[in-house]
């Protein structure tokens, strides 16, 4: 059965690849971009099945208007892919106030606005699927990407709660967590103004590794988007998370084990922080 997709950030990277694959197999795509003229060659190739909507993710009204337009013009939308966003490289102290606001407005508030805007439509049509593109950086953290991680950890908490809220309506949502991939993400990083104090720190070392190509990027965007297509077509319930990439799997697994070990080592402290059963019986409700 042919599907209709709504994909944000469709002009490049994973968003563009998803759009191309969906169109190639005969699906319809409504893509969002800052530029309504994006993907001109694809629009010429698929004039009846690809439509581009201009959206500014920092403008919640723009997001809501585009979503209403998408559902109003196409009827049912089966898959919503919240993909748009960018990275900011630099230590937290180096970032300007405007850089902090911009990445949170785009990556976090923009993604929240999109999900909130599509939910009434998905409820009315009796269900649908949302793929929220997060990152391995939604579960782990690299020095030099603190503000990027703030947005990804933030959207993960939001989605975890929303998934429980919308399950009764037949709406499913998965956090897709790719590791570093050979898209244009690295080339399009926003960057802070470096402070000399951070040159010999982990944040400075990572900045240097990215600059001189010492960080080998293993992630294949083509295989990652194949996995996302499979997820959209999956016959059973969707997983809460889908981690993509060898390094992402190893990194997330290692961090989760470390976190669990630390939690277990603190168990006696955690359990001692409650009222005792005897004390509770003497407390007013």
Res 227: pLDDT: 95
**Widest Cα–Cα separation across the chain:** 74
- pLDDT the model gives residue 208: 87
Among 62, 134, 135, 146, the active-site one is 134
Q: For position 182, what pLDDT does the model report?
A: 78
142 is a catalytic site residue: no
What's the pLDDT score for residue 218? 84
The pLDDT value given to residue 11: 85
Quick check: is 152 catalytic? yes
Residue 134 known to be catalytic: yes
Q: Tens of pLDDT along 171-217? A: 999 999 998 777 766 667 899 999 999 999 999 998 888 877 666 77
User: Residue 215: its pLDDT value, please?
Assistant: 67
Tokens 């997060």, residue located: 134
Q: Which of 3, 33, 82, 148 is catalytic?
A: 148
The CA-atom distances, in angstroms, between 27 and each of 2, 24, 36, 114, 247 are 5, 7, 20, 21, 32
This prediction has a pTM of 0.92
Domains and CATH numbers, the chain: 4-246 (3.40.50.720)
What residues of the chain score a pLDDT lower than 50? none
DSSP secondary structure, the chain, as one string: ---EEEESSTTSHHHHHHHHHHHHTT-EEEEEES-TT--HHHHHH-TTTEEEEE--TT-HHHHHHHHHHHHHHHS---EEEE-----EES-GGGS-HHHHHHHIIIIIIHHHHHHHHHHHHHHHHT-EEEEEE--GGGTS--TT-HHHHHHHHHHHHHHHHHHHHHGGGTEEEEEEEE-SBSSSTTTT-EE----GGGTTSHHHHHHHHHHTT-S---B-HHHHHHHHHHHHH-SSPPPSEEEESHHHHHHHHHHHHHHHHHHHHTHHHHHTTSPPHHHHHTS--
């Amino acid at each position: 059965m042919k599907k209709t997709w709504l994909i944000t950030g469709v002009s490049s990277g994973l968003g563009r690849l998803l759009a191309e694959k969906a169109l190639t197999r005969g699906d319809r795509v409504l893509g969002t971009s800052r530029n309504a003229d994006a993907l001109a060659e694809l629009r010429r190739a698929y004039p009846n099945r690809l439509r581009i909507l201009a959206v500014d993710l920092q403008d919640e009204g723009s997001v809501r208007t585009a979503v209403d337009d998408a559902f109003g013009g196409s009827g049912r939308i089966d898959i919503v892919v919240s993909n748009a966003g960018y990275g900011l490289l630099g230590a937290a102290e180096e970032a300007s106030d405007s850089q902090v606001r911009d990445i949170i407005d785009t990556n976090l508030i923009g993604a929240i606005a999109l999900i909130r805007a599509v939910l009434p439509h998905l409820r009315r049509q009796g269900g649908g699927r949302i793929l929220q593109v997060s990152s391995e950086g939604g579960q782990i953290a690299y020095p030099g990407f603190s503000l990027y991680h703030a947005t990804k950890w933030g959207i993960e908490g939001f989605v975890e709660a929303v998934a429980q809220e919308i399950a009764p309506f037949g709406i499913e949502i998965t956090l897709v967590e790719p590791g570093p991939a050979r898209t244009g993400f690295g080339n399009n990083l926003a960057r802070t103004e470096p402070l000399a104090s951070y040159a010999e720190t982990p944040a400075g070392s990572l900045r240097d590794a990215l600059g001189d190509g010492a960080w080998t990027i293993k992630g294949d965007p083509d295989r990652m988007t194949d996995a996302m297509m499979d997820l959209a077509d999956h016959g059973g319930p969707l997983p809460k998370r889908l981690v993509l990439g060898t390094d992402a799997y190893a990194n997330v697994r290692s961090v989760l084990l470390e976190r669990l070990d630390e939690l277990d080592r603190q168990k006696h402290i955690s359990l001692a922080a409650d009222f005792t059963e005897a004390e509770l019986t003497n407390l007013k409700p």
